[in-house]
Amino acid sequence: MKAVIIAGGFGTRLQPLTYNTPKPIVPVANQPFIIQQIELLKTHGITEIILNLHYLSSDIKALLGDGKNFGIKIHYSIEAHPLGTAGAVKNAEEFFKDEALIVVLNGDVLTDINISDVIRCHKKNKAKATLTLTPVTDPTPYGLVLTDKNGRVKEFIEKPSWERVEGLERFDINAGIYVLDPKIFLDVPSNTPIMFENAVFPNLLKKGELVFGFPSNAFWMDIGNPSKYRQAHDAILRGEVTSFRIYGSREKGNIFVGEGSEIDKTAKIIGPAIIGKHVKIGAGTIIREYSVIGDHVTIGKKCQLQRTIIWSKCKIGSSVKINDSILGTNCHLEDEVSISEGSVIADHSVISKGSKIGA
C-alpha cells in the first residue's frame, strides 16, 4: 500500500525556525518530524511513501534517501512551484495511478489516528474519498465537515460563523488525512494549483460521488506555528501521543536523557523533560518541566530554563534565564541573558551578555 505525504510548503507560520530547516524535518522531541509520520504509516501497512516536496527538498532527500534505513521505500515528487494540496498529489500521480487506493497525509499533522480503521471504512463504503475528521470546540477558524447519520459527507463549510453552526452537537473539521480512489485525479488538471478542501472534495459532492467522513477522537494537532509546536511537545511529554517514541534512557519516571550527556551533580532536572545526546549541563543549573534540550547543547552554570525547546548545537552561557521560548540550532547566548515567554530565536543567533529578549 502507498501513501503520499504533502510536505512542499515553505513553513511560513513556523518562521524563523524554518528559514534553514524545511518543516518536515523540524525536530520534534529531538527527531525530524517526518520520521514520526513515516513510523505511523508503517504501523498501518504502508510499504511505500511518496514525498511531495518543494522548499529545501535536497535537505529532506539527504536525510531520508531511498527510505531503506527506515524500513520503507521512498519516492520523491518535486514541485517546480507550489500546487496546493490536491495539485501536489496530482503531481505525484505517476507513482500511484495503478493502486486501488492511496493514503494522503498533510506533512504538519501530529496524530494517533488509526489509519487502518479509516482504510476499512473507505473499503466498506466503496467510497471515492474518505476524510478523517477531528472534533474542535471552536469551528470558526477551520473548514467544517457535515455528515449524515451514516457518515456520508453532506456539506463543507469554510470558516463558519457561530450562527451557521447553531444546533450542531459536534464540530468536526478536516484532519488532513485521507483515503482516496486514485481515479479522482483523472479530473484534476496537471501542473495547476488546486486544493482538496475548496475544489476537489466539493466537486465530488456535486457529482454525487460517495464521500465519507471518519470521525476520530484520537490525538490530533497541526504543529504548523510556534504555539502549536510548543503544545505538541507538552502533549508528547505528558504521554498523550502514544505512537510517538521518545529516545534516550528514562530516568526518574519522566526524564529522558540521551547517550553521552554530562549533567553536573548539583544541577536539577524537573520532569517531564528530554535531554538530548552529548549535552553538558553546568553546576547549579535548573531545567524545569516541559523542556527539551537538543543534541550537542552546552548549558553553563546557574541557569534557569522553563518550558523551553533548544535545538541542537546551541551554547548557553552562565546565569541565563529562558522561559517558554524556542531556540533554533547553533545559537550562542552569552552570560546573564534573559529570554522571556513566547520568544522564538532564529538559527545561528548570537545574543550578547546581559541582553533581555521579550517582555
Instruction: Write the pLDDT tens digit of every residue in 187-227.
Output: 899 999 999 988 999 999 999 999 999 999 999 998 989 99
Q: What is the mean pLDDT of residues 75-86?
A: 92
CATH code linked to domain 2-237: 3.90.550.10
Q: What pLDDT sits at residue 6?
A: 93
Cell digits of residue 217: 477522537
pTM: 0.91
The band of 253, judged by pLDDT with boundaries at 50, 70 and 90, is confident
Q: Where are the domains of the chain?
A: 2-237, 251-357
CA distance 187 to 264: 63
Q: What is the mean pLDDT of residues 156-181?
A: 89
45-48: Cβ within 8 A, 24+ apart: 45/1, 45/116, 45/119, 46/1, 46/2, 46/3, 46/72, 46/103, 46/115, 47/1, 47/2, 47/72, 47/73, 48/1, 48/2, 48/3, 48/72, 48/73, 48/74, 48/75, 48/95
Q: Classify residue 198 by its DSSP letter.
A: I
Instruction: Using CB atoms within 10 Å of the CB of residue 167, give its burial: 0 to 12 exposed, 13 to 18 middle, 19+ buried.
Output: exposed
Q: What pLDDT sits at residue 359?
A: 65
Between 143 and 19, where is the model more confident?
19
Helix (H/G/I), strand (E/B), else coil: 9: coil
Q: What is the pLDDT of residues 305-334, one digit of tens each?
A: 999 999 999 999 999 999 999 999 999 999
CATH 3.40.190.10 assigned to 251-357: no
CA distance 102 to 223: 24
CA distance 189 to 196: 13
